[in-house]
Structure 1
């Protein structure tokens, strides 16, 4: 769909580098990211140029065709006193009344159609960029919450194992804490896969 959304994840916490005017570790808003994507999107630039070209074709479509000038020469005939035969012609095509106005109106409608298509593509690019941004932000925050939860569960697991070793907790409590810890690790892998999938768009 002519999208160049996230060739490099420009709002992630990666080593600092500059890309398209932004530093990789710089926090971008959804509007800044959408604006950048619009600038570097080749499909959008192409359709905008097509819309501009279509607009320039409106006036010529309503104009008369260029006049035609022709010149002809005939070789000498058997009567040399007549000299060389030459002929100049100027012709102009005159279309049927209303044809030029109809051509101009058709060209105007074509230009409007291409312009509307460019506007629609621009809105689509902005929508998909902001959607990807929102997904990225959600995954980023989910990972932050996940890491905080995992840190608490690590402490709880250690405390449960100490309590089990001292006879203050059952073996089932210790095993339950380890199961929950493994579940959190699996959830982290899922979130990381989703994060990579968003970056790859």
Structure 2
């Protein structure tokens, strides 16, 4: 018989407050997860290593964009060289080399693009760590719910056991009913121990991602919220191609090798040197010249370095061109891989969404069937095996419902990773 409940003012108020509490709990739980992500961003050692790699690459820019060090030479004449104006006693020479115009800026562009590629590697590592933290968080939520659901089912089986004992004492049931309950209890208690051990492993893994204390407790919600994918399927794939950090890293490397070709061409052009020369001259007592004993200052002296052996520079140009072709092919391969991964993740997301609704419906039906079977067993001692079978199904549906929630959110988290969030 169906029962219709009249919605009184108190009932409406209770439902409203329940929804407010559920919504507030979800918001607070997402804030907890965001806090964990912030801790991971600040503390994770793998992320720190990638950031230091990027900072080191940035320091390469001023190194390659600076003129070569000047050359200073000093010569002392043990046997002074006699000249008309006096003996030359010592000689000072300062030379500065200058590459072809634009070579240093091209080298800076190469180093800058490679540093940008390292930065995208850092961002990709951060996105991957965020995905791992989210997935570990969702899995920890699932194991908490699995423990809770399993304990509730153990309590239900304890009720079944007491009910069967009462009926056995009354001569209305067989001892087989009690033994069947014992079998189910043993399986559930063993499963519970496994869940408890898994919880410890997941807690340690989660805290290692945050580089925190392994004993720290993890705050998870009573009911896990459901993440959604904000864009249409084709738009999401376009966003991945545009925003994925691995593709961005490849693009920066491609730009670096384009500039490397420019560097190779300019390396094959002449280089110039400009210098000054200062000679210390002693006085010649036999000379009456006006510049007698006057030091000699020569400015400027100019030299040209001509790269005659072209094989080396041609090879440098070809090397840069081959590397460009390699990055172009690598980018195309990465896009193909990301497309396949995206389609599979999108399938997992939709599957999780379907399983959430399915297992929720199945749980509700199984609860109704179980209530009916319990009443039937209480009155005529029949269908006890069916009671246990439906109870097992109910446990399965409840666990599958929670697993579907975590799988859907994990798929959404991987989508975030693919688009570089």
2:51 counterpart residue number: 48
Q: Distance in 2 between matches of 1:154 and 1:84?
A: 112
Whether 1:31 aligns to 2:34 is yes
Cα distance, 1:150 vs structure 2:
1.0
3-state SS, counterpart of residue 47 of structure 2: helix
User: For 1:103-182, what aligned pairs fall within 5 Å after superposition?
Assistant: 103-182=107-186
- Structure 2-normalised TM-score? 0.38
Q: After alignment, is 132-141 or 95-104 more displaced?
A: 95-104
Q: After alignment, is 40-49 or 112-121 more displaced?
A: 40-49
3-state SS, counterpart of residue 92 of structure 1: strand
Deviations 1:96-150, CA, capped at 9 Å, x for gaps = 3442132111101111111011101111111111111110011011101111111
Unpaired segments ≥5 residues, structure 1:
1-26
Residue number among 68, 91, 94 corresponding to 1:65 in the alignment? 68
Change (3 A) 1:154 1:74: farther
Whether 1:85 aligns to 2:89 is yes
Q: After alignment, is 127-136 or 93-102 more displaced?
A: 93-102
3-state SS, counterpart of residue 97 of structure 2: coil
Cα distance, 1:48 vs structure 2:
1.2
Assess if the C-alpha contact under 8 Å between 1:67 and 1:90 holds in 2.
Answer: yes
Give the helix-richer structure, 1 or 2.
2
Assess if the C-alpha contact under 8 Å between 1:70 and 1:90 holds in 2.
Answer: yes
3-state SS, counterpart of residue 169 of structure 1: coil
1:24 counterpart residue number: none
Q: Distance in 1 between matches of 2:42 and 2:54?
A: 17
Q: Distance in 2 between matches of 1:77 and 1:67?
A: 27
Q: After alignment, is 115-124 or 28-37 more displaced?
A: 28-37
- Structure 1-normalised TM-score? 0.76
Whether 1:200 aligns to 2:204 is yes
3-state SS, counterpart of residue 141 of structure 1: helix
Change (3 A) 1:77 1:64: closer
Q: Distance in 1 between matches of 2:34 and 2:87?
A: 79
Assess if the C-alpha contact under 8 Å between 1:75 and 1:84 holds in 2.
Answer: no
Q: After alignment, is 156-165 or 28-37 more displaced?
A: 28-37
Change (3 A) 1:43 1:83: farther
The count of corresponding residues between Structure 1 and Structure 2 is 174
Assess if the C-alpha contact under 8 Å between 1:54 and 1:107 holds in 2.
Answer: yes
Unpaired segments ≥5 residues, structure 2:
1-28, 206-421
3-state SS, counterpart of residue 88 of structure 1: strand
Q: After alignment, is 62-71 or 166-175 more displaced?
A: 62-71
Q: Distance in 2 between matches of 1:196 and 1:111?
A: 40
Assess if the C-alpha contact under 8 Å between 2:157 and 2:185 holds in 1.
Answer: yes
Whether 1:99 aligns to 2:103 is yes
Cα distance, 1:91 vs structure 2:
1.1
